[in-house]
Structure 1
Amino acid sequence: MTPLLTNEELSEIEREFDAAGVSARQVVELFQSRGAQLSEGTFRKYVQAGLLPRSRRVGRKGKNRGSRGVYPASIVRRLNAIKAMMAEGMTLEEIRGSFLFLRGELDVAEESLGALGQELARALSGAAVSEAQRTRLEQELKDVTKASTRLTTRLERLASRIVTARNAGRESKRNGVGR
């Protein structure tokens, strides 16, 4: 699977757009500048097919200026993998069933758990509690954070094994094994 963008380039793009997010047009232009055939229509098709996450709406400053769709910077990494898989001849359905799709769902869960942990830490920092109680709560938060990391790691491994088993089954059917 030969990607259009290297890991270093992807990391740089993610750092550049991390806070503000990235528009569909910016993503399309980025891939077109690398010689990839990608239009905004194709980009929307990938979103509608569930291969890419939906945008969040961000209002523009000024009265009656509307809003624009913004995607997380990580969408560039996912699209890069999708384009590489398609170059290998995989269909959209096969890509949707691949680990890539599950990885996206795991990323969302991981981000949500991380944000929740940060919010709890902020709430605890402003809580009027005794030092002993603060220490116990901080330790419990630390334990829960570790547990959530272990959970997402286990889910990732499980998803990988399931996808591998399913793909092996599909390959067997294609080759006439097990008929």
Structure 2
Amino acid sequence: MSETVRLVCPVGRKHVELFSGYALVALGVVAIAVDVSHWANITLGVLLVLLGAAVAVHGHTIKTPVLEVSDGEFRYRRGDYEIGVPFSDIGSYYLLPGSIRSLGLCDRAGRPKRFPSLQSRRTSRTYLPLTGMTSPAKVESFMAMAGIPPRKRSLSS
């Protein structure tokens, strides 16, 4: 596969924090602009601006998971955590249901592949966490475009 297939998982909390942070900053500016001569408006405005800035900065630090297949390799990235698996080692995939979706990869024999933990714990896991807003249909479409079959239709017999 020479072309790149990419899926960026949406993160609802990131969008909410960014929107609410910028809204608090704007509200703080409005509170100051209403009456600049009164100390209560200035104090309230400065507090709203600081709180909004903190929430917006935290929203910018939330990392979104990215799935990518290019140059014969499957890659998963979430911030500094990156996994690369040769495309030839992947036999199938499966989606774990739940409030936070997860993607599991299987080798050609149908056994789940193990990955190091995201938080640098000593344990390993057999799945890669996505987000709750990630649609299973989008993941299935991405995997179909990448040429990876679902577990129930695995390449192994």
Higher helix share: 1
Band of TM-score, shorter chain: 0.3 to 0.5
Give the TM-score, by structure 2 length.
Answer: 0.34
Give the TM-score, by structure 1 length.
Answer: 0.31
Higher strand share: 2
Higher Rg of the two aligned structures? 2
